[in-house]
Structure 1
Amino acid sequence: MEMNTSGLSWTKRIAAVATLGDEHRRRIYEYVLGAGEAVSRDEAAGAMDLPRSTASFHLDRLVREGILRVEFRKPAHKAGPGSGRPSKLYSPDLQEVGASVPDRNYDLAGHLMAEAISRSTSEGVPVGAALLDVAEDQGRESGKPDDLLGALKELGYVPSADQSGGYRLLNCPFHRLSQEHEDVVCTMNGAFLRGVASGSGSRADCVVPDPGTGHCCARIAAMEDSAES
């Protein structure tokens, strides 16, 4: 399954991009990405014309940053008796590496909309209703048990305590889309945030509208201000 950096926290995505600023690491990552199978340190060193120790250093740095992953097995051409110990092999853990400042998550928006269209087509439900269901389901999966603020921070919302006892969300991960398609994107965002709240052990109705510019279209109300279920 292909993966991108949308599943990583913003700070980790920034770190991943910064890591690839080194020419050797970027070339090694591109080599492993295009190899089609897990590669060894010797293979990477030979392909990049680098000393084995240098290739190993950069490969392991990419593993620490979550860009590559490691497995131990005998390469196919060394199978059978006397083939020795399993080799340390490297393969991509991320098919794409990207980050933005401030944090945006247009990949997530695209995934939610594509999944909603697919569900609408297969189940014969209005696409708007499907989008709400998909967004809320994904939000629940993105929650952190007993840590709503932690989940919101990792998702890029930048929660900031306000005078009402709740939290204003200073960043919109879908900012550019919301400027062009406000009704659709803000409705989707609200459903996603309600799912995040539920998945974090909070009540979904703590997510309330917060119209205006310069912040997210929703905020987190003080729990005592939310309606009883």
Structure 2
Amino acid sequence: MADSLDARVAAVAALEEPTRRRVYDHVARQGEAVTKDEVAGACDLPRTTAAFHLDRLAEQGLLDVVFERRTGRSGPGAGRPAKLYRRSARQVEVTLPERRYELAGLLLAAAVEDAERTGETPRTALDRRAEELGRSLGEAARADSKQAGAGAESVLAVLERHGFEPRVSEDGIALGNCPFHSLAHAHTALVCGMNLCLLSGLLAGLGATGARAELAPAAGHCCVRVRP
């Protein structure tokens, strides 16, 4: 669905250092990629300090590195391309507990477009889209693990990765967090149905034949529960 929580937290934490935040803000405000010398001059920093912070920001995916000849010349004698930095297109958001409202928005927008094109109801289109996405996420996770099917540990790991905070209980797996909490509170039937289809598809894609997702609303939990 998105970068792992650890990766997003690390990216945000990289901006905690004041000088690095100043370097990032300067690069982000520029209309084109800049060199470390330009950043050093604009931020009144030693060249090596600017380079250090720029490379740390690039390592965290907050900046892109490109190589270009600033003179516009090419061919022999044109010199080596300069190393330039620009803000990356990566979006970083950290919410605690984890929320995935962008994912819900993408599914809802796709469902409306499908309904207009095919004539099916938006609800039907949304459930189908959610199931397809869940299945693709499960298949990708299974391919990464190189397993024919998923056991309980694999199911728990994937649910944890996508922000559901799974907790093993006597009758299956309770989900301690709903990534769509506010939407589910305001539009319960629609969003919980979408979530059920998403998780059903996820289990199918994982090959978790010994588990099923079902609606089981409970206070303080996601409305979906995974049962044997």
CA distance in 2, matches of 1:32, 1:135: 38
Aligned length: 215
CA distance in 1, matches of 2:136, 2:42: 40
Q: Which residue of 2 aligns with 1:77?
A: 71
Contact 1:198 1:204 in 2 (8 A): no
Q: Which residue of 2 aligns with 1:156?
A: 163
Is 2:49 aligned against 1:54?
Answer: yes
Say which SS state the counterpart of residue 71 (structure 2) adopts. Answer: helix
Which runs of 5 or more residues in structure 2 are unaligned?
Answer: 143-149
Q: Which residue of 1 aligns with 2:199?
A: 193
Matches within 5 A, 1:75-224: 75-80=69-74, 81-143=76-138, 144-145=141-142, 146=150, 147-164=154-171, 166-203=172-209, 206-222=212-228
Deviation (angstroms), 1:36: 4.0
Say which SS state the counterpart of residue 84 (structure 2) adopts. Answer: strand
Deviation (angstroms), 1:205: 6.1
Supply the RMSD in Å over aligned alpha carbons: 2.3
Residue type of the alignment partner of 1:53: T
Say which SS state the counterpart of residue 77 (structure 1) adopts. Answer: coil
Which runs of 5 or more residues in structure 1 are unaligned?
Answer: 1-5, 223-229
TM (normalized to structure 1)?
0.82
Identity of aligned residues (%): 41
Deviation (angstroms), 1:204: 9.5
CA distance in 2, matches of 1:46, 1:86: 20
Residue type of the alignment partner of 1:120: A
